C-alpha cells in the first residue's frame, strides 16, 4: 500500500515474475503487493490449475489447449521451461501466509464445471474471506454457480462497460474490477467514461463495503488516469512502476 492506494499484482506481476506460478505469488508478496489476480482453467479430468492462455505454446511450449489434457500430464509441464504449473489448491495454500492479501481467481474457461470447482476450492480454503471468483458481468451465471458451490464463497465482477457497475453490485458482488486488459478495450473504456462518469457509482460501491479496483495499468499515465477517476486500488503487471508512480502522487 502507498498512502491510501492499494497495489494488486495482475497474473502475479507478470512484468517481473513468471505469471500464474507459485513463484509469482511469492514475488508479489515479497514486493509488497496488496493482492493478486490468478487465472484458473480446468483439466480434462476436472482438476483446476493456474494458466491464462487458451493454448500452451507461449507459456508451456506445447500445442493445443491444456484443458484437453489430464492433470497428470499438465503437472509435468513447466511454465517458461522452469516453473511447475500449480494446482489451484497449491496456489490457495501458498496465499495462506500472505496476511490480508486479496486473491482473485479469474475463471478462464467458459465452463460451469470450472465455476463449481473454483467455488468448492474457495469454500474449503482458509482464505475464502479475502478471496474472490472473478469474471466479466457478461459471464455472471458462472460467478453465481461458483458462489453457490460452497458456503462463504464470494465473487468479483469485471463490469466491462462502466454502466454495468450498478448491475454488478446488485448481482451480489463483493468486489468490482473496472478497466481494460488490452489496447482496444482501453480505448473503448476511456471513451465510455467520457459519457458515463464512473466515480459516483464506484464511491457508492465502496461505501457499501465492496472492494473497488481498476486496471490493468502499466505506465505512469495509465495509473494516474485511474487515480483521477477516484480509484484507490490499481491492478498492474509492473509493481515497481506502480509503487513509484503512486508514491510520487501521494
Q: What is the Cα–Cα distance from 191 to 113, expressed in whole angstroms?
A: 36
Q: What is the mean pLDDT of the chain?
A: 96
Average pLDDT for 31-48: 98
The distance of Cα 105 from the centroid of its chain, to the nearest Å, equals 6
The model carries a pTM of 0.96
User: What's the alpha-carbon Rg for the chain, to the nearest Å?
Assistant: 17
Q: Give the count of beta carbons closer than 10 Å to the beta carbon of residue 12.
A: 29
CA angle 69, 53, 125 (to 5 degrees): 75
Q: What is the Cα–Cα distance from 164 to 171, expressed in whole angstroms?
A: 10
- Residue 192 has a pLDDT of 94
Cell 489434457: give the residue: 69
Q: Could you tell me if 9 and 34 are in contact, meaning their C-beta atoms sit under 8 angstroms apart?
A: no
- Residue 13 has a pLDDT of 84
Predicted confidence (pLDDT) per residue in 5-34, tens digit: 999 999 998 999 999 999 999 999 999 999
3-state helix, strand, coil in the chain (%, to 5): 40, 20, 35
- Residue 84 has a pLDDT of 98
Average pLDDT for 120-146: 97
Enter the DSSP assignment of 242.
H
Which domains does the chain possess? Answer: 6-53+86-249 (3.20.20.190)
Region class of 243: left (phi > 0), else alpha (psi between -120 and 50), else beta: alpha
Predicted confidence (pLDDT) per residue in 194-212, tens digit: 999 999 999 999 999 999 9
Cell of 170: 446488485
Q: What is the Cα–Cα distance from 62 to 108, expressed in whole angstroms?
A: 18
- Residue 181 has a pLDDT of 87
Q: Could you tell me if 74 and 67 are in contact, meaning their C-beta atoms sit under 8 angstroms apart?
A: no
Q: Which residues pair with 214 in a beta bridge?
A: 178, 234
Burial of 136 (0-12, 13-18, 19+ CB in 10 A): middle
Cell 517458461: give the residue: 80
Where are the alpha helices (H) located in the chain, listed in sequence order? 22-30, 57-60, 71-74, 88-95, 112-123, 140-148, 165-170, 183-195, 199-207, 220-228, 239-249
Q: What is the Cα–Cα distance from 48 to 60, expressed in whole angstroms?
A: 17
Q: What is the Cα–Cα distance from 174 to 132, expressed in whole angstroms?
A: 8
Cell of 71: 492433470
Amino acid at each position: 500500500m502507498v498512502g491510501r492506494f492499494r497495489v494488486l499484482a495482475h497474473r502475479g506481476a507478470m512484468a517481473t515474475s513468471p505469471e500464474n506460478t507459485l513463484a509469482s505469488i511469492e514475488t508479489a508478496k515479497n514486493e509488497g503487493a496488496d493482492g493478486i489476480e490468478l487465472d484458473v482453467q480446468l483439466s480434462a479430468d476436472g482438476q483446476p490449475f493456474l494458466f491464462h492462455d487458451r493454448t500452451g505454446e507461449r507459456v508451456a511450449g506445447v500445442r493445443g489447449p491444456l484443458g484437453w489434457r489430464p492433470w497428470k500430464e499438465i503437472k509435468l509441464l513447466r511454465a517458461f521451461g522452469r516453473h511447475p504449473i500449480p494446482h489451484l489448491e497449491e496456489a490457495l495454500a501458498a496465499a495462506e501466509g500472505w496476511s490480508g492479501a486479496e486473491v482473485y481467481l479469474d475463471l478462464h474457461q467458459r465452463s460451469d464445471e470450472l465455476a463449481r470447482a473454483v467455488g468448492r476450492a474457495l469454500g474449503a480454503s482458509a482464505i475464502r474471506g479475502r478471496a474472490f471468483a472473478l469474471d466479466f458481468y457478461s459471464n455472471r451465471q458462472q460467478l453465481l454457480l461458483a458462489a453457490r458451490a460452497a458456503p462463504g464463497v464470494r465473487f468479483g465482477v469485471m463490469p466491462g462497460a462502466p454502466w454495468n457497475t450498478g448491475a454488478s453490485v446488485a448481482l451480489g458482488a463483493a468486489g468490482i474490477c473496472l478497466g481494460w486488459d488490452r489496447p482496444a478495450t482501453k480505448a473503448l473504456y476511456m471513451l465510455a467514461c467520457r459519457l458515463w462518469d464512473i466515480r459516483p457509482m464506484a464511491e457508492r460501491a465502496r461505501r457499501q463495503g465492496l472492494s473497488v479496483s481498476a486496471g490493468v495499468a502499466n505506465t505512469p499515465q495509465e495509473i494516474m488516469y485511474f487515480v483521477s477517476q477516484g480509484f484507490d486500488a490499481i491492478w498492474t503487471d509492473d509493481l515497481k512502476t506502480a509503487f513509484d508512480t503512486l508514491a510520487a502522487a501521494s
